[in-house]
């Protein structure tokens, strides 16, 4: 049986500098999909000014950030001394744990002639015991992201988070969760079965598509019911289109979120701010981290 859509909505503008960003999650209907509590879409845009200063160093606690870059080059710095650079198709994951300061840049890809910049950032809520752990960082270049061509050359699927058939992401999971990038050729169709009680959503970055026989426009976020069932994706365009399908099991602990912190109580939030202002999260040494690589 096909899953039914619960609602659909569009994001709100949340630009940073020259980057046009739509905040997709949270929205007026949903605060989270499984453990995923935040999604920003950096819409496709040709970059005319190189960003060397980052988006601004800022703290996090209690979450993991996951940045997926379709087009461009992402550079990561954090106060735990981690540094990384990924290119088109790559993924950066950072466990904020008990507190960290990080910064990111997003520029056109130095390995290609394209000036296009396009990407996403997700925040993944961590279980309370993992929130207490030390920060960690992992980067995965595009050619190392698990990938499979669909039958009859209908397109392909990339597993950014979780698993699909024999594909498994190296990004750590602390609960059942998944993030798939599905690329469908013109007129192609793809169907996937999803288990009971999973919270599931789809996002159409640029082009419209039909999902379980309903038509949705580019830029729409769609959430589904929580019963076991299938999601059937159909590309109704005359060109290839991309769809993000993501979700996971319900986060069953209390959630208290404020600014860059997602914790389990108001006291946890107060402690997160206290430790940040006390300097416990450390500092970023940009030049030293670049030199180490």
* More confident site: 260 or 53: 260
Query: Is the model's pLDDT at 264 over the cut of 70?
Result: yes
For every residue of 87-144, DSSP letters joined together read: ETT-EEEEE-TT-EEEEEEEE--TTSS--EEEEEEEEEEPPHHHHTSPPEEEEE-GGG
pLDDT of residue 292: 58
Q: CATH class for domain 5-292?
A: mainly beta
Please report, for the chain, the start and end positions of each structural domain, with discontinuous segments joined by +: 5-292
Residue 123 CA to residue 62 CA, distance in Å, equals: 10
163-180 residue pLDDT tens: 999 999 999 999 999 999
Q: What confidence tier does 37 reach under pLDDT thresholds 50, 70, 90? A: very high
The CA angle 61-67-69, to the nearest 5 degrees, is 165
Please indicate, yes or no, whether the overall pTM of this predicted structure exceeds 0.75: yes
114-160 residue pLDDT tens: 889 999 999 999 999 999 999 999 999 999 999 999 999 999 999 99
Query: Is the model's pLDDT at 227 over the cut of 70?
Result: yes
Residue 65 CA to residue 250 CA, distance in Å, equals: 18
Mean pLDDT, the chain, whole residue set: 94
Helix H or strand E encompassing 291: helix 286-292
How far from 51 is each of 18, 21, 107, 113, 208, CA to CA, in Å? 9, 15, 6, 17, 31
For every residue of 189-213, DSSP letters joined together read: EEEEEE-TTEEEEEE-SSS-EEETT
């Amino acid at each position: 049986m096909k899953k039914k859509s619960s609602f659909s909505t569009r994001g709100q503008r949340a630009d940073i500098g020259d980057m046009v960003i739509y905040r997709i999650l949270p929205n007026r209907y949903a605060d989270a999909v499984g453990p995923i509590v935040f999604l920003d879409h950096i819409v496709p845009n040709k970059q005319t000014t190189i960003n060397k200063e980052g988006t601004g160093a800022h703290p996090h606690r209690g979450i993991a950030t996951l940045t997926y870059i379709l087009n461009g080059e992402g550079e990561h710095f954090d106060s735990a001394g981690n540094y990384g650079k990924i290119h088109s198709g790559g993924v950066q994951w950072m466990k904020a744990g008990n507190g960290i300061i990080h910064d990111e840049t997003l520029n056109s890809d130095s390995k290609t002639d394209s000036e296009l910049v396009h990407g996403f950032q997700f925040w993944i809520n961590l279980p309370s015991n993992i929130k207490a752990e030390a920060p960690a960082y992992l980067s995965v270049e595009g050619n190392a992201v698990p990938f499979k061509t669909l039958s009859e050359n209908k397109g392909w699927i990339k597993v950014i988070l979780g698993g699909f058939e024999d594909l498994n992401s190296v990004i750590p999971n602390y609960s059942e969760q998944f993030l798939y990038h599905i690329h469908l050729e013109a007129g192609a169709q793809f169907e996937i079965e999803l288990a009971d009680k999973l919270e599931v959503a789809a996002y159409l970055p640029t082009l419209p598509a039909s999902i379980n026989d309903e038509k949705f426009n580019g830029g729409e976020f769609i959430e589904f019911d929580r019963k076991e069932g299938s999601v059937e994706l159909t590309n109704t365009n005359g060109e290839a289109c991309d769809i993000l399908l993501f979700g996971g099991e319900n986060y069953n602990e209390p959630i208290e979120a404020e600014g860059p912190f997602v914790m389990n109580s108001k006291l946890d939030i107060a402690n997160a701010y206290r430790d940040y202002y006390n300097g416990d999260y450390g500092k970023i040494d940009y030049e030293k981290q670049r030199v180490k690589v």
